[in-house]
Amino acid sequence: MATLEDLGVSAFINIVGAFIFLLLFAVLRIQPINDRVYFPKLYIAKKRTHDHRGARRAINLNLCTYFKFLSWVPGALRMNQTELIHHAGLDSVVYLRIYTLGLKIFLPIMVVALLVLIPVNVSGGTLLNLKKDVVFSDIDKLSISNVSPGSNRFFIHLLMAYLFTFWTCFMLYKEYSNVAFMRLHFLASQKRCADQFTVIVRNIPRVSSHTTSETVEEFFRRNHPDHFLGQQAVYNANRYAKLVKRKERLQNWLDYYQLKFERHPDKRPTGRTGCFGFCGGEVDQIDYYRARISELDKRMASERQKVLNDPKAIMPVSFVTFDSRWGAAVCAQTQQSKNPTQWLTDWAPEPRDVYWENLAIPFFSLSIRRFLISIAVFALVFFYMIPIAFVQSLANLEGIEKVAPFVRPIIEVKVVKSFLQGFLPGLALKLFLYILPSVLMIMSKVEGYVSLSSLERRTASKYYYFMLVNVFLGSIIAGTAFEQLYSFFHDPPSQIPRTIGVAVPMKATFFMTYIMVDGWAGIANEILRVKPLVIYHLKNMFIVKTERDRERAMDPRNIQLGENLPSLQLYFLLGLVYAVVTPILLPFIIVFYAFAFLVYRHQIINVYNQEYESAAAFWPQVHSRIIASLLISHVTLFGLLSTMKAAYSTPLLIFLPLLTIWFHKYCKSRFEPAFRKYPLEEAMEKDRMEHASEPSLNLKTYLANAYLHPIFHMFEQEEQKEETTLEVRIDKSQQQQQQHHARSSDTQYEERNTETHYYHEERSSSQYQYQYQHEETHMRSEQSPPHFVYHHEIQP
């Protein structure tokens, strides 16, 4: 157990670290050159344009701005909740409420715990004999471990456990009720959305002699005669989407070489084609990439024709639209067919929220996938050390020397060698932890969920299990998760809470340090945005030519619920477990919540751009996890007290988890339907209001373009290509060409050869760019490759 002094040193280091990050942030954010890194959301929301603060001056020279390094804080607090919902959506606002919930739960708990439990613990028991001259040198003195075994003072801890649990449940109930209300209000006050009228239908059976569209049409016309409006078939454009991605990559290289050539017009960039540029014949890079893009264009055109004309490209999935919210609500909530594996209906996610790749997975396959992934997650959580240890055993110095003998001279230098020997084993683990969220996301995708929001929620829940086992339990019971699993099977169940309970107070210092490193410094790092900053400037240097390119180079990112929810939930767990045991940990958590709240509020206002809106669909998960934390805290306290010979007080604890479970069940049935279903009352009310205010509304026209995939717009554009007006950029590139003509006469012949080609390319690339921009507002293309195309079939 560390002394307060050790902890002070650690706190000092971390506070200094966080301070440096904040200072750096204060300096960097006021540089106009970084404006797009630190305020991308304002650009996207059109609250800031490219000439803001004078883009010509790259560096801020106003010295007094440097001194106000916390000047972002008032800015982070400026919007009220309604404005913030309007600015960033309900998801972001409710996400921020998790932090305020943390504050609301833990501030009163901290006050009570510090006032009551610390004196009880320090005095080793009776409040009356409290010595004034006690030295607060040891964390242990402040924790429950200081109370002598068998003491009656454990009744005070027991009372506190009840008090804290009731308080937490009370706040949870209030918050759930608030969030549910906000969600319903948000949905009710939302302007007309296509997803309110649309139901996604999966596993449409194949009927011979009928096309899928005909089958759907017939089925819904028969079973929902009064409300069925139309349907939009989904085309399988997987291959086409791949080609688009490839073209984008080639286009980036072409841009890079063109810019290089523009800057050094005396030398045309050349390179080798094969083997990462090491072998193959030397070619002119600009010509080479142009040729490859043009070839790709041809393939894309033929693929496009194939998608549009081949009846086999239609997937057994459809977006069915209804003439009222009531009709859609009814269809989404009822079973359609006798065979419950066919005609599965569900709410259509928002158009930007659809994960197209998973739309066509059949029911049987889904059931296998989910099962296999749950086994895989279990294996990942408990056995992830095995492959890492394997990689570590391979990636030692001898191994590297064997594979690549030429690096031996460098490795054999003593300084390098010792550095590598210390660094390599950790590298595999670091790398693993870095890519873990992506791996979990891929797993969730394999599970077959059809919306990005649900994918993110699934990822969050997988990540939570990982953190719970490997961070929380892993730190408390020293040893790998695999060893824990072994002991879970081989120790009596009554022993496990004891093992954990005894270890919990001893690990308090570790978790305080963890909170400071991961919480305080980590959050300060979040606001600094090192990675997007570097990438933005790299892109700016090598690819960006126009203002539009610059906009594309911005990477606002989003809240990253998949990673952030689990760590937040971990803090709740730590706070609840330690509230009774070592209450001195609570201030650290409070500081984290307050600081993180400010930072994330700032980021949500200025940086993040949510891709979709799920209307706080993640809240039930947050609620359940906090309840789970409560239960874990009860079990640990039970284990701890049972080793403390507190025979009278311990059995009284048994009611606490029971009451908590009941509370959870009640909340679940009371509030969860608001997140899963859409009440008919609500739907009917909105239908009526709309009908009263816009009696002549033509829903068919409104819904016609709703679920059209961006790629389909691309198709249309391809066909209208002749009429597209060329953009500024093309003028610029023409200028460029003229410069090129004037300055390099030796490559003139080649140039003329590719002239027509080049124009064509430019045109299509500008068109592509237009498309991309369109896509940007709809959905981030990196995360959700557009794989299916809508063929719109609203019926007359």
* Residue ranges that bind a copy of itself, judged by CB under 8 A: 184, 219, 222-224, 226, 326, 329-330, 333-338, 340-341, 343, 363-364, 367-368, 370-371, 375, 488-494, 658, 661-662, 665-666, 669-674, 677-682, 684
**Nearest distance, CB of residue 319 and a copy of itself, angstroms:** 18
Residues 589, 53: Cα–Cα separation, whole Å: 38
Question: Hunting for tokens 């009310």 — which residue is that?
Answer: 685
Residues 688, 450: Cα–Cα separation, whole Å: 31
Residue (218 or 694) nearer to a copy of itself, CB: 218
Residues 394, 640: Cα–Cα separation, whole Å: 42
**Nearest distance, CB of residue 348 and a copy of itself, angstroms:** 17
For residue 322, list its beta bridge partners. 228
Residues 668, 649: Cα–Cα separation, whole Å: 31
**Nearest distance, CB of residue 361 and a copy of itself, angstroms:** 14
Neighbours of 100 (CB within 10 A): 14
Per DSSP bridges, beta strands 228-236 and 314-322 are: antiparallel
Nearest partner of 361 among 465, 447, 255, 469, judged by Cα: 447
Residue (207 or 404) nearer to a copy of itself, CB: 207
Residues 403, 409: Cα–Cα separation, whole Å: 14
Residues 67, 161: Cα–Cα separation, whole Å: 45
**Nearest distance, CB of residue 363 and a copy of itself, angstroms:** 8
C-beta of residue 41 within 8 angstroms of C-beta of residue 608: yes
Q: Which residues contact 418 (CB under 8 A, 6 or more apart)?
A: none
Output the six-digit token pair for 394.
Answer: 């391979």
**Nearest distance, CB of residue 668 and a copy of itself, angstroms:** 10
Residues 281, 730: Cα–Cα separation, whole Å: 31
Residue (224 or 457) nearer to a copy of itself, CB: 224
**Nearest distance, CB of residue 224 and a copy of itself, angstroms:** 8
Conformational region of residue 531, where left means phi above 0, alpha means psi within -120 to 50, and beta covers everything else: alpha
Residue (341 or 567) nearer to a copy of itself, CB: 341
Rg of the Cα atoms in the chain: 30
Residue (498 or 601) nearer to a copy of itself, CB: 498
**Nearest distance, CB of residue 474 and a copy of itself, angstroms:** 20
Residues 454, 477: Cα–Cα separation, whole Å: 33
Residue (294 or 342) nearer to a copy of itself, CB: 342
Residue (73 or 684) nearer to a copy of itself, CB: 684
Residues 284, 749: Cα–Cα separation, whole Å: 13
Residues 505, 511: Cα–Cα separation, whole Å: 10
**Nearest distance, CB of residue 338 and a copy of itself, angstroms:** 5
C-beta of residue 666 within 8 angstroms of C-beta of residue 613: no
**Nearest distance, CB of residue 569 and a copy of itself, angstroms:** 25
Instruction: For residue 272, count CB atoms less than 10 angstroms from its CB and return exposed for 0-12, middle for 13-18, buried for 19 or more.
Output: middle
**Nearest distance, CB of residue 205 and a copy of itself, angstroms:** 12
| CA 320 distance to own-chain centroid | 29
Residue (149 or 340) nearer to a copy of itself, CB: 340
Residue (253 or 363) nearer to a copy of itself, CB: 363
Residue (371 or 648) nearer to a copy of itself, CB: 371
Question: Hunting for tokens 């996301």 — which residue is that?
Answer: 441
Output the six-digit token pair for 485.
Answer: 């699993």
Residue (432 or 488) nearer to a copy of itself, CB: 488
**Nearest distance, CB of residue 326 and a copy of itself, angstroms:** 8
**Nearest distance, CB of residue 791 and a copy of itself, angstroms:** 25
C-beta of residue 306 within 8 angstroms of C-beta of residue 682: no
Helices 414-447 and 561-581 sit at what angle, rounded to 10 degrees?
A: 100
Residue (303 or 447) nearer to a copy of itself, CB: 447
| Residue 347 three-state SS | strand
Residue (225 or 405) nearer to a copy of itself, CB: 225
**Nearest distance, CB of residue 210 and a copy of itself, angstroms:** 16
Nearest partner of 708 among 331, 346, 344, 319, judged by Cα: 319
Amino acid residing at 537: H
**Nearest distance, CB of residue 619 and a copy of itself, angstroms:** 15
Residue (132 or 490) nearer to a copy of itself, CB: 490
C-beta of residue 715 within 8 angstroms of C-beta of residue 308: yes
